[in-house]
């Protein structure tokens, strides 16, 4: 009986450990919203982080961080939305 309980417990714990790729999707105002930019970043080495600030359609300040990939494309790394004070 104990091995069965241990097996079920391990199964539940492993099921909870699965990862979903919930990568950020570009929103209106993002650099990559309509695809990758035409201009390639040739001066910056891969792995460089760059920040982008804009105001979204709800008036929130949005701060995004992009990471330059080895093929010079941009990958959205993080996004932070802040409500503007009145």
Q: Which two tokens stand for residue 3?
A: 């091995």
pLDDT at 42: 82
Return the H-helix or E-strand segment holding 5: helix 2-16
Q: For residue range 15-61, what is the model confidence (pLDDT) as tens digits? A: 666 544 467 888 899 999 989 988 878 888 999 999 999 999 888 99
- Please state, in angstroms and as integers, the Cα–Cα distance from residue 18 to each residue in 11, 21, 85, following that order: 11, 10, 39
Higher pLDDT residue, 75 or 84?
75
pLDDT at 24: 84
With a cut of 80, say whether residue 11 has pLDDT above it. no
Nearest residue to 51 via CA among 30, 69, 72: 30
- pLDDT category at 2 given cuts 50, 70, 90 is confident
Query: Environment class of residue 66 by beta-carbon count within 10 Å: exposed (0-12), middle (13-18) or buried (19+)?
Result: buried
């Amino acid at each position: 009986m104990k091995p069965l309980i241990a097996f079920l417990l391990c199964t539940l714990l492993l099921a909870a450990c699965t990862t979903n790729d919930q990568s950020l999707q570009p929103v209106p105002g993002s650099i990559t919203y309509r695809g990758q930019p035409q201009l390639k970043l040739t001066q910056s080495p891969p792995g460089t982080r760059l920040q982008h600030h804009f105001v979204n359609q709800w008036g929130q300040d949005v701060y995004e961080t992009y990471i330059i990939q080895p093929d010079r494309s941009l990958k959205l790394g993080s996004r932070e939305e802040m409500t503007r004070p009145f």
